[in-house]
Chain A
Amino acid sequence: MILEFLINAIGLGALYALLTIGVALLFGVLGLMNFAYGELILAGAFAMYLFRDQPWPFALLMAIVFAVVVALVSERLAFHPLRNADPVTLMIASFAVSLALQSLARMTVLPRTRGVPPERFLSHRVSILGADVSVLDLVTLVLCGVMLLVVAWLMGRTSLGIQLRAAAEDFRMAASLGVKANLVIPAAFVIVGVLSAIGGAVLVARQGSIGADMGLQPMLIGVVGAVLGGMSSLKGAALGGFLLGAATALLESLLPTDLIAFRDAFLFSALIAVLVVRPQGLLSGAKVRVS
């Protein structure tokens, strides 16, 4: 029982950490609070729907391709011309991109919600150490965990990762030391595209349906997690997302049934409290000027 709960909570935590990193990475590099993130997830999820009859790994690959293409196109068309704009302008622009992508989806392929038949192998249940665990939870855990490790390796051990981190720290300084904006920014969008595709694939498997507005919830999760963890560092953001996922799993099993509907209200109140009391994030040691 406890093991089931743990696997569920850790799986959800890993998924949320994945979503959070996608938001935090772009915020760090560009100062962009990306509300169009949900639509990248939608692009990945749509590929899962389109290739639902193909083998699952192939669909996953196509999801990554779709999400990366959408991410790069949105960067090129909308965020590239706004590279020097202030964060609030960028946030409004990402609102616009989000709405544009959503209406595009609604116009062309997703006028209404569509069901995605569950993959046969994901609905199996296996028993581990006496606990009855669904393969879906395990796949969530493994896939998101592996992705987190890959991101950690990429950011920590590769030249691109170091450039990205330098750009997130101080973009102008990094640029004058030879970090190319036209390399790191698209690279950041590609990474975000991959992350959101994985997130989208996992979400489709969990929900069993896709709709034009399915990106809203995961996008909000990413934003909340990133704020909780402190938006300046990826590690903090990942930890914030993880804790948010674990807390959500905990809230869902602990809250009285008539209060579960208000879960979001609790979460967002906590978010506001964190913003007011510790604007640098719960887990970040750095001082941030309140301005």
Chain B
Amino acid sequence: MKNRNRLLDAVQTPAILIGLVLLAAVVGATGDVTTARVATLALVSVVFVTGLSVFSGNSGVMSFGHVMFMAAGAYTTAYLTIPVPLKKTLFSSLPGWLSWLADVHSSFPVALVLGGLVAAVVGVVTAPVVARLSGLQSGIATLAMLLITYNILNSWTEVTRGSSSMIGIPRGTTTWWAFGIAALAVLVAWGYRCSRSGLQLRASREDFWAAQASGIAVGRHRATAWVLSAFLCGLSGALYAGFLTSFNVNGFFLTATFSFVVMIVLGGYLSLSGAVVGALAVSALQEVLRRFQDGQFTGGNELPAGVADLIVAAVLLVVLVKAPYGLMGVRELRLPRRRARLAARAGADARAEEPVGVS
């Protein structure tokens, strides 16, 4: 009985989260084209925010640079899956040492995995910085990384097409692909959270100096979480590219960063459930606001562009003031019934023990 309870304890949160993700996927798979699009992009966001949460949730350090991993995954997918003839015309002036980029080709699943791996490599390169910094300095450093990435992607025109869009990526991502990867991301994130390294990292989140004094190599665990989250965010980038079939470098800049930050802060950045719930809720909110802005609720009167952004920003500010740790705080989603039963039993036990204590 005790073992079964422990097993239930270990699997109930990821099971509930995957259930939520499945719900979103089913809504997407049964709805019309727009619904499917919104649901799939919401699932891509779930993958990303889950990845971000692997780092931020466990270490307590906010990152503003994770979109660069998404960009790495998306560009890798583009290089690998755009048909070779089209690629030859898109990248007609590749520098010599990169000319092999025009000839490589692979299927979408391979590109997906490689996209994650390339992002992980970027993560390995940047990990030493993250391992050393905390708090605001880490925030600024990760933002600087994003700015560097953006600058390179935007200016290295021969290789990245600069500010022109990347086009002609075959549609590889379906709603079910997105669901599968999102479920995988939840499992990986939960697994890391419960692992030895994750536990030590969470200890350092609660009290940095106490953790260090207890012999926890905080930097090393931060780096581990950083690389793992880079991999997951790379996957989300590959899904994103494979779903939209074209993307622009401006999709991987401050607007995207801000929208993911809203998701993770609204949900609660210290909890995995918060990340998943926040990603789904904010995706839904953004879609509602988009329709509102297009005038679907106000009888066709289009509102000026920017209304949606303004409302999202206002929502974020209210959340920051009223509940700085988001909807979930440090809690995870659990089965409510069980907790109630446990509480009832604990109450019964206490009553049973009372006479013993008195005598």
Contacts and interface: CB of A to CB of B under 8 A. Distances in A.
B124 interface: no
Interface in A85-101: 85-89, 91-93, 95-97, 99-100
Contacts of A279: 133, 137
Contact of B321 (A82, A108, A262, A276): A82
B320 A85 contact: yes
B5 to A, nearest CB: 37
A95 B261 contact: yes
A111 B139 contact: no
Contacts of B313: 96-97, 99-100, 103
Interface stretch (A60-68, A137-145, A152-160, A266-274): A266-274
A264 B151 CA distance: 7
B129 A272 contact: yes
Contact of B305 (A31, A78, A86, A111): A111
B141 interface: yes
Contacts of B304: 106-108, 111
A227 B316 CA distance: 26
Interface string B175-203: 00000000000000000000000000000
A103 B152 contact: no
Given A227-B140, A269-B148, A95 B258 contact: yes
B135 A275 contact: no
Nearest to B293: A107
B265 interface: yes
B321 A100 contact: no
Interface string B72-99: 0000000000000000000000000000
A193 to B, nearest CB: 20
Contact of A33 (B139, B145, B316): B139
In this complex, the member of A89, A104, A265 whose beta carbon has the largest number of chain B beta carbons within 10 angstroms is A265
Interface string B260-282: 01100100000000000000000
A276 B307 contact: no
Contact of A272 (B145, B209, B321): B145
Interface in A247-273: 261-262, 264-265, 268-269, 271-272
Contacts of A86: 135
A107 B307 contact: yes
State which size class the interface on B falls in. 35 or more
Contacts, number: 126
B147 interface: yes
B65 to A, nearest CB: 10
A81 interface: yes
B324 interface: yes
Nearest to B264: A92
Interface string B108-146: 000000000000000000001100111111011100110
Nearest to B147: A268
Interface in B224-261: 254, 258, 261
A52 to B, nearest CB: 23
B139 A91 contact: yes
B309 interface: yes
A128 interface: no
B62 interface: yes
In this complex, the member of A33, A100, A216, A224 whose beta carbon has the largest number of chain B beta carbons within 10 angstroms is A100
Nearest to A80: B321
Interface in A43-79: 77-78
B317 interface: yes
B155 interface: yes
B33 interface: no
B208 interface: yes
B307 A272 contact: no
Given A92-B265, A107-B306, A268-B145, 13 more contacts: A87-B135, A88-B136, A91-B136, A95-B261, A99-B309, A104-B310, A106-B306, A107-B304, A271-B140, A271-B141, A276-B128, A276-B132, A291-B209
27 contacts: A33-B140, A81-B321, A88-B62, A92-B62, A92-B320, A93-B316, A95-B258, A96-B262, A97-B313, A99-B313, A100-B314, A103-B309, A104-B310, A107-B310, A111-B304, A227-B140, A262-B155, A265-B152, A268-B145, A268-B151, A269-B148, A271-B144, A275-B129, A275-B144, A290-B132, A290-B133, A291-B209
Interface of A: 31, 33, 77-78, 81-82, 85-89, 91-93, 95-97, 99-100, 102-104, 106-108, 111, 216, 220, 223-224, 227, 261-262, 264-265, 268-269, 271-272, 275-276, 279, 290-291
Interface of B: 62, 128-129, 132-137, 139-141, 144-145, 147-148, 151-152, 155-156, 208-209, 254, 258, 261-262, 265, 304-307, 309-310, 312-314, 316-317, 320-321, 324
